[in-house]
Chain A
């Protein structure tokens, strides 16, 4: 499979995704600490124009556990970016130092443009409200490992309007013909253009505002954070945020094999008491970011 740059889930077929997930499984032991020198002598550059903790750290962990090195830009304020250098120039310069570049940028489409200028593989770690494909791949991997991607019934809960992870995930799940229930407050419903696209790919989609209605009928509950800043009225936010809080009480009618996922960080969407239940998988999910990113780094560096 040709995988020079990793920009958007739209570039992947279902076969491509299956290959990546299978490869990630091979790396799980290394992600847990078994020694490897597979990327020894290789250098990864992380280029984060926006703050990120887990994405950056899990890329660094993946690279270092495979025996490679990581260089980073340092703080944006003290770098060439602060002097007004274009992204296109920064990419061309760093491409002379590193074997691959992980990029997070506040503008949508930044990674696609960077790929046009880069001679080394670009891995998109989030471009504005656009794509975040490595998050989607680790979400799929979590579902594959902890539940199943076939005949999947999943509920996507929270901010379905602006949340980039959830659009990307819904698109990928449509390739697996998943049965998706979209649960969100009315003002944060998934845009029609995205729903239309998902149906075209073969997804079964239904929409509701009530989590209680579907909790007994799903395999995966994927909840995302509702951002306060989306609401002009704080009282309105409180009302909405409270309505999608996962508690032990709510889970009483859940299926035995239900798993709960969250891209983290959480605020108060999931009651900490839920962490102790058999349903919680969000910390496993954050671990799976490492083997998945290992697979991507290896595939990208082999192709590059």
Chain B
């Protein structure tokens, strides 16, 4: 009971990202641009037992609401994540991340010989397959299915 209280201790304003695929919390922080030098109040819980997922990670960031492109990036590495927006200790909005059908400028193609990895004026674009999460490069057809976090721009 005490443990539970510590993990989900309410925050006044901010965002709670729950149901993150276990092991991805640090990548979520990276997407949010939160590093060791941050001044934000951040709590991270990893490998928390979860009924649905078996185990999950949780990230809480105080005084911050997420931008749409941040949510899109999170959905790629944690497709089951839920976002809770908190104001005055109340959850005013709760939603599951939704993988977009196509992403642009979010992930770098892992094929070094792809035209999107050259000096050409082209932004990387991928068609997204949802289950399992797979990204197919619109230009070279190369598929990224593992380690998507490593290819985030």
Binding site for B on A (CB under 8 A): 8, 10, 86-88, 105-110, 112-113, 116, 127-131, 193
13 A-B residue pairs with Cβ-Cβ distance under 8 Å, sorted by A, are A8-B141, A107-B113, A108-B113, A109-B116, A109-B137, A109-B138, A109-B140, A110-B139, A112-B115, A112-B138, A112-B139, A113-B115, A113-B120
- Residue from A105, A108, A110, A129 having most chain B Cβ neighbours under 10 A: A108
Q: Are A108 and B140 in contact (CB under 8 A)?
A: yes
**CA–CA, A86 and B118, complex, Å:** 10
| B121 interface hit (Cβ, 8 Å) | yes
Q: Are A110 and B119 in contact (CB under 8 A)?
A: no
Render B51-69 as a binary contact track against A, CB cut-off 8 A, 1 for contact: 0000000000000000000
Residues of A within 8 A of B43 (CB): none
* Cβ-closest chain B residue relative to A86: B120
- Give which listed residue, B119, B139, B143, contacts A108 with CB less than 8 A: B139
Q: Are A108 and B111 in contact (CB under 8 A)?
A: yes
Q: Are A86 and B119 in contact (CB under 8 A)?
A: yes
Q: Are A109 and B121 in contact (CB under 8 A)?
A: no
- Give which listed residue, B118, B121, B138, B145, contacts A107 with CB less than 8 A: B118
Interchain nearest-CB distance for A257 vs B (Å): 34
* Cβ-closest chain B residue relative to A129: B113
Q: Are B143 and A87 in contact (CB under 8 A)?
A: no
Residues of B within 8 A of A86 (CB): 119-121
**CA–CA, A109 and B116, complex, Å:** 8
Render B133-153 as a binary contact track against A, CB cut-off 8 A, 1 for contact: 000011111110100000000
Nearest 6 pairs of A and B residues by beta carbon? A109-B139, A108-B140, A109-B140, A109-B115, A107-B115, A110-B115
**CA–CA, A10 and B122, complex, Å:** 21
Residues of A within 8 A of B139 (CB): 108-110, 112-113
Interchain nearest-CB distance for B118 vs A (Å): 6
Residues of B within 8 A of A106 (CB): 113
Interface majority SS (helix, strand, loop, mixed), chain B: loop
Interchain nearest-CB distance for A117 vs B (Å): 8
Interface majority SS (helix, strand, loop, mixed), chain A: mixed
Residues of B within 8 A of A88 (CB): 120-122
Interchain nearest-CB distance for B46 vs A (Å): 31
| B32 interface hit (Cβ, 8 Å) | no
| B114 interface hit (Cβ, 8 Å) | yes
Q: Contacts A130-B140, A130-B141 hold; do A109 and B114 have CB atoms under 8 A apart? A: yes
- Residue from B111, B121, B140 having most chain A Cβ neighbours under 10 A: B140
**CA–CA, A39 and B143, complex, Å:** 39
- Residue from A110, A116, A127 having most chain B Cβ neighbours under 10 A: A110
* Cβ-closest chain B residue relative to A10: B141
- Residue from B115, B122, B141 having most chain A Cβ neighbours under 10 A: B115
Interchain nearest-CB distance for A90 vs B (Å): 10
Render B28-65 as a binary contact track against A, CB cut-off 8 A, 1 for contact: 00000000000000000000000000000000000000
Residues of A within 8 A of B111 (CB): 108
**CA–CA, A130 and B139, complex, Å:** 9
Interchain nearest-CB distance for A53 vs B (Å): 23
Residues of A within 8 A of B140 (CB): 107-109, 112, 127-128, 130
Residues of A within 8 A of B121 (CB): 86, 88
**CA–CA, A86 and B111, complex, Å:** 19
**CA–CA, A110 and B139, complex, Å:** 7
Residues of B within 8 A of A127 (CB): 115, 140
* Cβ-closest chain B residue relative to A167: B141
